[in-house]
Structures are given as structure tokens and as C-alpha cells.
Amino acid sequence: MRLAILLSGRGSNFEAIHEAIQRGALDAEIVCVLSNRPGAAGIGKAHGFGYETHVLDHKAFPHRAAHEAEVLRVLDEARPDFVVLAGYMRLLGASFVAHYHQRILNIHPSLLPAFPGVDAQAQAVAYGVKVSGCTVHFVDEHLDAGPIVIQRTVPVYDGDSADTLAARILHEEHAAYVEALQKLAAGNWRIEGRKVIF
């Protein structure tokens, strides 16, 4: 299973996927790592691990479509089976999603459909939920909305801040992304409507 990673920041989910491949827990190969942010720590890590890396700064393009067209061109050359969003802070346009139909994955730090969008952990703390977690899902043309591959839960404690909850969720994210990818790599799954059936 050939994976292309798209990231914008720290890259801890990318690193977790890399480490799982290294220790033989995930039957996959990372074929390229692309960032839209020149200073992203994740792209530095990817470079250090020896991956093919690309920085395509969206600010250097006249509009979204031009940036996405270039991202697609780079991705297509790498021939990924899945495009793995790992903290990629750009919404993908409908034509991008259609180009990699049911082959784009994202991880979100809440139990979707609760708390989509930015600051999901702060939203969860503010709402007063007792349980939160993370969701690995297929990407469709709507924000944080595609069919769910896997979810993991964590407790939310009275004294939690957005940061303490985010750290607890992030720990689960790293395991969840690897588990989701391994389940997809194993084959024998299909999407029926909103449901991913294994």
C-alpha cells in the first residue's frame, strides 16, 4: 500500500505511521510527504527519514485551484494508493476529492460528528462532554464528514484543559491511524453509503 502524506505542521501522526512501518506493524510504504507550509516541522522529519519531500506553499499560488492542481500533479507522480492527511490544514476542493475518490483519509481529534472544524478539543472541553476521542475517516467534499474507518475514545476529566485533552487524544490518534491503515491494507472492506464495512 503506497501512502502519500500531506501535512502542515508538527507531523506526529506522520511519524507514528513511519515508525509503525519501520517496526513491521503496518504493511505500507510512504512514497512522498508534502507540506503546504515551508516551515512545517513534519517536513523536516520526513527529510531526515529520507523520504521524497515537497513543499508547495499555497501562498505562492494565485488561487486554491492552482495550488491543488500542482499538489495533484506531484501526488500523481508518486502513484499513491491512499492520500493520508496528517494535520493538513487546507480544505480540499471537490475536484481534488473526486480525483482520489475514496482514497483520501483524515484524522480528526473528536468523535465525529461531534465537534468538526478547528479546536475540536477546546470545543469538547467547553461543551462538557465526559468522553471524547479521535476519528479516522474518508474525506469527501464536506468538512470532517466522510465515512468513518475507526474511532478511539478517551475520558474527559473535570480538570482538563484543551491542551491536556489534546495530549490524551493525540496518544490515541497515533495508534488509531496505524490501525485504520492496517485494516485498509488488509483489504476485504467496502463502503456502503456512510458505512465502511470490514
Least distance from ligand GRF to the Cβ atom of residue 130, Å: 20
**Cell numbers standing for residue 157:** 476529566
Peptide bond just before 147 cis, omega within 30 deg: no
**Cell numbers standing for residue 11:** 507531523
Least distance from ligand GRF to the Cβ atom of residue 188, Å: 26
Nearer to ligand GRF, 127 or 188 (CB): 127
Q: CA 106 → CA 6, 23, 112, 145, 157, distances in Å? A: 10, 23, 12, 10, 26
Nearer to ligand GRF, 75 or 107 (CB): 107
Least distance from ligand GRF to the Cβ atom of residue 187, Å: 26
Least distance from ligand GRF to the Cβ atom of residue 170, Å: 6
Least distance from ligand GRF to the Cβ atom of residue 143, Å: 11
**Cell numbers standing for residue 32:** 512522498
Going by the DSSP 8-state scheme, the letter that residue 89 receives in this structure is: -
For the chain, give the longest Cα–Cα distance.
Answer: 49
Nearer to ligand GRF, 73 or 120 (CB): 120
Beta-strand pair 104-108/82-85: parallel
Residue 170 host element (H or E): helix 162-185
- Kindly list the residues in this chain that would bind ligand GRF in the complex (CB under 6 A): 7, 9-13, 42, 86-87, 107-109, 170, 173
Which active-site residues does the annotation give? 108
Distance between CA atoms of residues 141 and 95, nearest Å: 9
Distance between CA atoms of residues 133 and 152, nearest Å: 5
